[in-house]
Amino acid sequence: MSLSVSRRLAAATALALAGLFAATAPAAQAVPTAAAAAPTPPDIPLANVKAHLSQFQTIATGNGGNRAHGRAGYKASIDYVKGKLDAAGFTTTLQTFTYNGTTGYNLIADWPGGDPDSVLMAGAHLDSVSSGPGINDNGSGSAAVLEAALAVSRAQLQPTKHLRFGWWGAEELGLVGSKHYVNNLPSAERAKFSGYLNFDMIGSSNAGYFVYDDDPAIEQTFKNYFSGIGIPTEIETEGDGRSDHASFKNVGIPVGGLFTGASRTKTSAQAQKWGGTAGQAFDRCYHSSCDTTSAINDTALDRNSDAIAYAIWHLGASTPVPPGPSFENTADVNIPDYPGSAANSPITVSGVAGNAPATTKVDVNIVHTYRGDLVVDLVAPDGSVYNLHNRSGGSTDNIVGSYTVNASSETANGVWNLRVRDAAAQDVGYINSWKITF
């Protein structure tokens, strides 16, 4: 992670009062499934990721103790990653640039197939600072992205989107490599990106679990993964603007990513929910000579590596439900805090013949400081209720996602309603928008 600092303070502290509300509904209920069926994401082998880190450590040890821009250790690191990808069937491109009078390198790897007009890219910076080997910052992200790419090859994945991977040079000197890559993309190529996923420091010794809050769909994908394994997350603020995602974000490309913390101090509340030691930095070896393989948190590295694969498979390899007619309500509707009444956002559907399909798609965008308080239902014109979200997700915020509902027993035309009730006190929010597609 580079040294320049740009901070956004975000806090969503809530008190969840379980058991205070029970939703009543007509007998007809449906359990939604994901709106897009994707192949099952793999469990990324921790041993494989650590083997890459061991290689980076060996390279640094043999080249003056670091893998910094312009040093032999960085070029050796690029050559190692490129060799693995070439052998796995990727098309690799070594992009050069000049900074501070020395040559720098970006490595780009494309997986064959997928829609060339819809590119999903995952990346990490490969350089270290000159004062240490940079095994967490950022061997961890580089190794995990490499192993996720190799997992794509092992699965012979046939994605719907075109998958691209990148390893950036000279990030520690001001995001130099990623800026060079983005600035040399023609505008038509930039427009093809559906998203860029960034992974910078994902094995911090006193780890936290932070998710970038930039693109809502990417953010929610990562939150869904961590919610599924029972790990609460927080919005990432320490590294905002300090890593390579900023290069993409600044030209309008949707971005997201993961982070386990750098020099900031872990609070008592964070230690209580994540473990580790309160009052100490998330990474005590940040930008230091002790940033070695011995300072890596294996549990955090394992979880985040699996989250990377989860995001690539869900965002890049899903098969979307073919769309039909869509109807949307974009009016903001305030959600009263408990024990207030439910918020209702209606959509009048007309001109659709017959019943709704078994794959009726509902896209929801709800802004709220504690998604674990919320019960979200789709109410059909005849009053039948289809539950979409029932107080899951814990202390994370917002609900941005898609659901598929089997509403084939319902007449399509009529007034459909998104009903949102706050089931516990002390948090606020609103329905930002929602859409129903037949």
Tokens representing 131 are 């004062």
Q: Is 234 part of the annotated catalytic residue set?
A: no
Percentage helix, strand, coil for the chain under 3-state DSSP, each rounded to 5: 25, 30, 45
Helix/strand/coil for 342: coil
Query: In this structure, which amino acid lies at residue 104?
Result: G
Considering only CA atoms, which of 115, 7, 113, 21 is closest in space to residue 421?
21
Q: How far apart are CA 132 and CA 114, in angstroms?
A: 39
Considering only CA atoms, which of 81, 109, 77 is closest in space to residue 93?
109
Helix/strand/coil for 148: helix
Q: Which residues contact 44 (CB under 8 A, 6 or more apart)?
A: 144, 147, 148, 151, 302, 305, 306, 308, 309
| Catalytic position from the list 147, 171, 172, 234 | 171
Q: How far apart are CA 109 and CA 279, in angstroms?
A: 40
Name the residues annotated as catalytic.
Answer: 171
